[in-house]
A and B are shown apart, each in its own frame.
Chain A
Amino acid sequence: MPEITRDEVAHLANLARIDLSDAELDHLAPQLSVILESVASISGVAGDDVPPTSHALPLTNVFREDVVVPGLTPEQALSGAPEVEEQRFSVPRILGEEA
């Protein structure tokens, strides 16, 4: 039975930059366990002759030729940026206080 612990949920939330309160962890960890169990029930249906898959489509080798396609103007590219400086995306300091 797959089960995900409260600590694992806290760890994953931290990696995903999701700030969860204790109450939310208490609430969400059991729910995620239920979801994992539900998904795992698929393995009960698939026989040994059905390999695990990552894609719904039976396709391989979908390629594009190496030809330039016009993209966005810098104005368009930066239109959603909270801060812009020197035609670049301005982001807050990268290293934290410890650096």
Chain B
Amino acid sequence: MSDTLIAFDDVLASYDPAMGLEVHVELNTLTKMFCGCPTEFGAAPNTQVCPTCLGLPGAMPVVNRKAVESAIRIGLALNCDIAEWCRFARKNYFYPDMPKNFQTSQYDEPICFDGYMDVDVDGETFRVEIERAHMEEDTGKSLHVGGATGRIHGADHSLVDYNRAGIPLIEIVTKPILGTGAKAPEVARAYVAQLRDLIVALDVSDARMDQGSIRADVNLSLSPKGSGVLGTRTETKNVNSLRSVERAVRYEMSRHAAVLGSGQKILQETRHWHEDTGVTTSGREKSDAEDYRYFPEPDLVPVAPSREWVEELRGTLPENPTARRARLQAEWGFSDLEMRDTVGAGALNVIEQTIAAGTSPQAARKWWLGELARRANEQGLLVDALPVTPADVARVQALVDEGSLNDKLARQVFDGLFAGEGTPDEVVAARGLAIVSDEGALSTAVDNAIAANPDVADKIRDGKVAAAGALIGAVMKEMRGQADAGRVRELILEKLQ
């Protein structure tokens, strides 16, 4: 059963899209929102739990100060007002991933509200208004047994691990995003991307979409072009990559237009995004499930951040990532494409640190986006998680600059660094990688190459200098790469001309 879709351009001919984005950010606090259990990713099931996060009778929650600080810093970075007084609320529902049978969240008194973020798409700026950012807790993780490949549909029963239950979340909700037209999918993507950059700059979350530490829900509706009347919306969950945010908006726009075009109504419902097939499918319809009977959490006292505290936290905000990027691009003289690749590879910080250690911007970029990005890819890591530091890269490049290494030898130094053989200088010494500057050895190698390749030597004697490449290759081979190719070339030409 697949949905009927309308071509994207035809959607825009008849409708205006309205979007709303809800982004959940899992904080990187050491402990949970309301108890002292650790939050480490990937621990054995039910090893990071206590009576509070298991919802056992009599357990009392206490708020994590660091989580409140992170919430306020996120709010300030999003130009929000910070509530002078706010409370937690119980959101009541029955689902086994929430052992208390309610989620402790905030309802009508979010800690941050009324902000905005300016989002850039192809040089055009769209202001995304932020409705609120509130504190809540994550749920447990369910493993569905029986039925097809771990899906909840058709499962016999489910197995629940509560390690994640109670980890602090900040939910950031936009106001309806209007007037984006054909750029709606890109604006949605750019918003989540910029928000992620901001979260990284604030250092309040691991910000790994692939591990679920940032999760997006996409609300979408269409209104007849120019009418200004908001249509019925759907909420697409499980959108866990930037590319999927863009695709999900595009898909729902095409699907809505097809439903509306055939004279039917959009059902207000939750839909699930499927990364593999690129479609959404219907989840539960919103009915009783929406009736969460919120009420103020009696076990937690209100949070009333003093203005002094808020200002102190404002003082800890990093430079706005968009502004920082523009500044660095100008300082480094990178092209737009070079800068985009740098940011895309997550290499901004390491390149900045490498340059600070004395390397030229282009050399720093060459290593981090070439050799090191390739190795990071192979290992499924980000470049900043590699065992090679910016200081190492700066030292390797310094050795290249002073003529002790060439690029090929430098790559072997990285082999050594990856194998944990010590500092660049130790690797060079232990592996004997430095370029041989012993003219006698070089001269002998050149003589050997000429003797082994008389045809090539004759060509060079006849003036075909381009043929020297073959001899240089032979010499480099004999020198096991440890020679300066420029000097080898000079020697060859001296001997043959």
List A37-79 residues whose CB lies under 8 Å from chain B. 54-55, 57, 59-74, 77-78
Give the residue name and chain of the B residue nearest to A95 (CB): B152
Give the residue name and chain of the A residue nearest to B299 (CB): A55
| In the assembled complex, B304 has its CB within 8 A of some CB on chain A | yes
**Prevailing SS type, chain B contact patch:** loop
On chain A, the residues within 8 Å of B36 by CB distance are: 64, 67-71
* Contact mask for chain A residues 74-99; partner B; CB cutoff 8 A; 1 contact, 0 none: 10011010010111111111110001
Stretch at the interface among B91-99, B325-333, B405-413, B444-452: B91-99
Q: Is the CB of B63 within 8 A of A64?
A: yes
On chain B, the residues within 8 Å of A59 by CB distance are: 301
On chain B, the residues within 8 Å of A77 by CB distance are: 46, 49, 54, 162
**CB < 8 Å: which of B62, B87, B94 contacts A63?**
B62
- Distance in Å from the Cβ of A32 to the closest Cβ of chain B? 15
**CB < 8 Å: which of A12, A17, A57, A88 contacts B46?**
A88
| In the assembled complex, B336 has its CB within 8 A of some CB on chain A | no
**CB < 8 Å: which of B48, B159, B300 contacts A86?**
B159
| In the assembled complex, B68 has its CB within 8 A of some CB on chain A | yes
| In the assembled complex, A23 has its CB within 8 A of some CB on chain B | no
| In the assembled complex, A31 has its CB within 8 A of some CB on chain B | no
| In the assembled complex, A1 has its CB within 8 A of some CB on chain B | no
Q: Is the CB of A71 within 8 A of B143?
A: no
On chain B, the residues within 8 Å of A92 by CB distance are: 157
On chain A, the residues within 8 Å of B96 by CB distance are: 89, 91, 94
- A69 to B59, alpha carbons, bound, how many Å? 14
- A12 to B293, alpha carbons, bound, how many Å? 9
Q: Is the CB of B298 within 8 A of A55?
A: yes
Q: Is the CB of B46 within 8 A of A66?
A: no
Q: Is the CB of B29 within 8 A of A66?
A: yes
Also in contact, A88 and B49, with CB within 8 A (given A63-B65, A68-B36):
no
List B147-205 residues whose CB lies under 8 Å from chain A. 152-162
Give the residue name and chain of the B residue nearest to A58 (CB): B301
**CB < 8 Å: which of B50, B162, B296 contacts A89?**
B162
On chain B, the residues within 8 Å of A61 by CB distance are: 301-305
Q: Is the CB of B66 within 8 A of A66?
A: yes
Give the residue name and chain of the B residue nearest to A17 (CB): B94
Q: Is the CB of B64 within 8 A of A95?
A: no
**CB < 8 Å: which of B37, B152, B296, B298 contacts A99?**
B152
On chain B, the residues within 8 Å of A15 by CB distance are: 92, 288, 291, 293
Give the residue name and chain of the B residue nearest to A68 (CB): B38
Q: Is the CB of B45 within 8 A of A88?
A: yes
On chain A, the residues within 8 Å of B49 by CB distance are: 71-72, 74, 77
Give the residue name and chain of the B residue nearest to A56 (CB): B298
Give the residue name and chain of the B residue nearest to A62 (CB): B301
| In the assembled complex, B85 has its CB within 8 A of some CB on chain A | yes
Also in contact, A89 and B160, with CB within 8 A (given A68-B37, A74-B45):
yes
* Contact mask for chain B residues 288-326; partner A; CB cutoff 8 A; 1 contact, 0 none: 100101011010111111000000000000000000000
| In the assembled complex, A14 has its CB within 8 A of some CB on chain B | yes
Q: Is the CB of A64 within 8 A of B65?
A: yes
On chain A, the residues within 8 Å of B142 by CB distance are: 91, 94
Task: List the 10 closest A-B pairs by CB distance, nearest first.
Answer: A69-B36, A71-B50, A54-B296, A88-B159, A63-B65, A66-B66, A60-B304, A91-B96, A64-B62, A89-B160
5 A-B pairs besides A67-B31, A69-B37, A94-B142 with CB distance below 8 A are: A55-B301, A55-B302, A61-B303, A66-B29, A91-B96
25 pairs of residues in contact across A and B, judged by CB atoms under 8 Å? A59-B301, A60-B85, A60-B302, A60-B304, A61-B301, A61-B302, A61-B305, A63-B64, A64-B65, A65-B65, A66-B65, A66-B66, A68-B31, A68-B37, A71-B35, A71-B37, A72-B51, A74-B46, A77-B49, A83-B157, A87-B44, A87-B46, A89-B46, A94-B95, A94-B155
